[in-house]
Amino acid sequence: MEIAFVPGTPVRGASPLARFLPPLEQGSVAAALERFGKKSDRVLDPFGASPRLAVEAAAEERAVLVAVNNPVARYVLERTAKPFTIHELQSALSRLGSAPKDGGRLEPFLLDLYRTQCSRCGERISADYFVWDREDGEPVLKFYSCPHCSQTIEEPTNEEDLRRAHEYERRGLHHAMALEQLAPRGDPERQQAEEALAVYPSRAVYAIVTVLNKLEQLDAGEAVRALLLSALDQANALWGHPEGRSRPLQLSASPRYLENNVWRALEWAAGHWALPDPKVGLREWTDWQSLEPGIVTIYPGPVRELAPQLPTGRVQHILTVIPRPNQAFWTLSALWAAWLWGREAADPIRAALRRRRYDWAWHASALRSTLRAMKEAVGNQAQVLGFIPDAEPGFVAATLSGFDAGGYRLTGRALRSEGQAILTWERDPGPEGSVSLSGIADSMSLAARSALEARGEPARYALPHIAAFSALAAERLLAGVRPSETRSALGVVGEQL
């Protein structure tokens, strides 16, 4: 059961939307592939959660097919495989900043939205960010680097800062335009779209819509859209202060949040998208026979729609990062896709607007449904290698349960103390194991105790918990557990530990 953990190295530097994408270490996929299949194998990633996984696999001469339903995640994958040069990004930023606006240029217009006064020399300057207190409903701090006297400081706001912050009405024209792009009046998801838009400060909405209007007028290229995508992430209220949530999962403003200067965010974004060229190919899906080593082939939709197009039993290797439910990212993705590419682009993930919470039972069910939709295409001896970079107990338990119910037997587990896991499965088309709760309790207790004894030192709760669930998944006992009147099947299993 225990397999060696294949470490990578922490990713250096910023990358697009890093706080929402799985924190997969650089080189971990390449190292794991040394023991998973061989070069030229066709591998399927049914979830498309990690751009790094697909690109590293292609760089290792695998023929990679990845289904990506989220248009934002798909865009990041495309631009990880075929990155912009820093020259392209800087040229795009310069062109955008030079666009005409109210008799001047767009860059100074946007900077002026965040105008404040240097407390040392008295000059008018543009703040890099303001810190808002959610309960007070106003900015309480500001940060700036004065180009006139070189003062760099975070200090309390003044009356003029407060007045300017409240100039931008949430019910104004720009707010209506931002909302209309995703959910026009009469749309059944209009209220949910309003709630999603509410995580943006009013001044940010004004700035964003101003830039979006310029995209249409300029017929801007993809590099500008990439910069704006990162700015859309930087401009919302999910950035806490002084630290806040490094990986937000829920769409709610932090008690104290940053209101980043949108033009500064566009400038910072150039460094996010100027990625190293992995020298892999990129193409859109046509058919199974067209898959080639060293090329990432993208299916722009869910794997359940791809599965009927795959030849029966030909998928022998599944390589993936297990997706984690993220209401914040999925909801914002719908908003961003509509703004950047039009309302139809957001259609595949509009359902995220309606759902506010995702529990582990829901996640297990979603994994089961996805895996069952693929069953005709997957060979009886197919192998799965799955990465879980943020392996908390509930996430791993839901993953094990979903794969068990989807017809896969756990064959290997590697767990790192930093909360990272690698799991392997094989296709097991046979029936799920017979279940008795007393037998489950005994198996879980034995597995948890054995894991602790093997460690020989104190361990976090995750170790015995994951060991206990893994023991059941190795015998395919999880899928046979039924929910009670008050508990999900996962909850029933958890009570036995």
- Give the pLDDT confidence of 47-66 residue by residue, as tens digits: 999 999 999 999 999 999 99
Q: b or e along 275-289 (b: 16 or more beta carbons within 10 Å of the residue's beta carbon)? A: beebebebeebeebe
pLDDT classification of 219: cutoffs 50, 70, 90: confident
If asked whether residues 240 and 291 sit together in one domain, one would say: no
Positive or negative, the Cα torsion across 452, 456, 460, 466? negative
- Does the pLDDT value for residue 394 go beyond 90? yes
> Taking residues 397-416, what's their average pLDDT?
95
- Does the pLDDT value for residue 243 go beyond 90? no
Whether 491 is in a domain gets the answer yes
If asked whether residues 346 and 445 sit together in one domain, one would say: yes
If asked whether residues 400 and 254 sit together in one domain, one would say: no
Is it true that the peptide bond before 242 is cis, omega within 30 degrees of 0?
yes
Whether 15 is in a domain gets the answer no
Whether 303 is in a domain gets the answer yes
- Does the pLDDT value for residue 245 go beyond 70? no
User: What local confidence, expressed as pLDDT, does residue 484 receive?
Assistant: 86
Q: In the chain, what percentage of residues exceed pLDDT 70? A: 99
411: CATH = 3.40.50.150
Sheet strands side by side (includes 152-156): 152-156, 138-145, 129-133, 256-260
Domain boundary among 273, 291, 314: 273
Domain boundary among 217, 244, 273: 273
Q: Residue 103 — left, alpha, or beta (φ > 0 → left; ψ -120 to 50 → alpha)?
A: left
> Taking residues 128-144, what's their average pLDDT?
97
Domain boundary among 251, 273, 295: 273
> Taking residues 156-182, what's their average pLDDT?
91
Q: Distance between CA 336 and CA 193 in Å, rounded?
A: 12
If asked whether residues 155 and 193 sit together in one domain, one would say: yes
- Does the pLDDT value for residue 90 go beyond 90? yes
The pair of structure tokens assigned to 174 is 């720009």
User: What local confidence, expressed as pLDDT, does residue 244 receive?
Assistant: 66
> Taking residues 479-493, what's their average pLDDT?
89
Whether 2 is in a domain gets the answer no
User: What local confidence, expressed as pLDDT, does residue 13 receive?
Assistant: 77
Q: What is the SS3 assignment for 20?
A: coil
If asked whether residues 383 and 468 sit together in one domain, one would say: yes
Whether 13 is in a domain gets the answer no
If asked whether residues 61 and 114 sit together in one domain, one would say: no
- Does the pLDDT value for residue 429 go beyond 80? yes
DSSP 398-467: HHHHHHHHTTEEEEEEEEETTTEEEEEEEE--SPPPP--HHHHHHHHHHHHHHHHHHH-S---THHHHHH
If asked whether residues 186 and 234 sit together in one domain, one would say: yes
Q: Distance between CA 101 and CA 138 in Å, rounded?
A: 28
If asked whether residues 287 and 419 sit together in one domain, one would say: yes
The pLDDT mean for the chain works out to 94
- Is residue 218 packed enough to be buried (19+ CB in 10 Å), middle (13-18) or exposed (0-12)? middle
User: What local confidence, expressed as pLDDT, does residue 14 receive?
Assistant: 81
> Taking residues 396-407, what's their average pLDDT?
97
User: What local confidence, expressed as pLDDT, does residue 497 receive?
Assistant: 82
Measured in degrees and rounded to the nearest 5, phi and psi for residue 129 equal: -160, 160
Q: How far is CA 181 from the centre of its chain?
A: 22
User: What local confidence, expressed as pLDDT, does residue 291 receive?
Assistant: 98
Residue type, 407: G
If asked whether residues 108 and 140 sit together in one domain, one would say: yes
- Is residue 92 packed enough to be buried (19+ CB in 10 Å), middle (13-18) or exposed (0-12)? buried
If asked whether residues 55 and 119 sit together in one domain, one would say: no
User: What local confidence, expressed as pLDDT, does residue 163 receive?
Assistant: 96
> Taking residues 117-125, what's their average pLDDT?
98
- Does the pLDDT value for residue 98 go beyond 90? yes
- Is residue 13 packed enough to be buried (19+ CB in 10 Å), middle (13-18) or exposed (0-12)? exposed
Whether 257 is in a domain gets the answer yes
Q: Distance between CA 482 and CA 369 in Å, rounded?
A: 17
Whether 38 is in a domain gets the answer yes
pLDDT classification of 233: cutoffs 50, 70, 90: very high
- Does the pLDDT value for residue 459 go beyond 90? no
Whether 1 is in a domain gets the answer no
pLDDT classification of 240: cutoffs 50, 70, 90: very high
If asked whether residues 291 and 347 sit together in one domain, one would say: yes
Residue 384: domain span: 28-82+279-495
If asked whether residues 321 and 442 sit together in one domain, one would say: yes
Please tell me which residue, 209 or 439, carries the higher pLDDT value: 209
Stated pTM of the model: 0.95
**Under 8 Å between Cβ of 252 and 125:** no
CA angle 144, 149, 150 (to 5 degrees): 55
Q: In the chain, what percentage of residues exceed pLDDT 90? A: 82
How many domains does the structure of the chain reveal? 2
Count how many residues are written for the chain.
497
The pair of structure tokens assigned to 460 is 């976090």
